[in-house]
Structure 1
């Protein structure tokens, strides 16, 4: 019999209303869930994840909203691989986010720049209904 090596992976998925309140709740849920996984509130990773989720959730409810449809938040924490993957899915597959130069006078339009600055990598993938925007954060080894 072969010995199997286990790689612990923690997974969290939650559907939220496609509203500003749902987007705020997504940010709070991330900090809470990471704390349950041993990543404390206020840590560098917790703060970075909260910022990324805030931006992706805001985009989902602003640009990906379809009446009667929720958005979905998913976190996948692979401690051995030192990766936290954040996924936000919405029902609008026709609106794919792209990095654009920000309008200097605009108060919005910089969210994906923040995601790009904080995440090791990010992207978009199609799904049966809509799309998923994802970002991966690197987890530093614990002291």
Structure 2
């Protein structure tokens, strides 16, 4: 049993996507973008990708707000179609908020890359903000839309 748990832990860690932290107040932040370990992440237009962020919370919070954006010509443009209520995408139920200080938080949601998007290289930012508006997790990752 321990061997299985160890193998699963190593497998989940090995698939983490390398990212730049942009001011997380939570700790032990891990980003997983489906099919991407080493940026830039190649995202095919017309496809949907699972994005998972895990972190250890800095404080108890009854909310988790998602802010996802792409940098276009120096301007952070909100990613269309993102449900900003992060509590709905937390592991453990339909709405597992509140979460406690020091707890491991596991957020996953599908992100659509619409076929209407132009083929380009950009930087995508995901911020998961607590009720105080502080980014528990803030990740920046280069992507190329193909």
Name the structure where strand makes up a greater proportion of residues.
2
Point out which structure has higher relative CO (alpha carbons under 8 A, 6+ apart): 2
Name the structure where helix makes up a greater proportion of residues.
1
Q: Normalising to structure 1: TM-score of the pair? A: 0.28
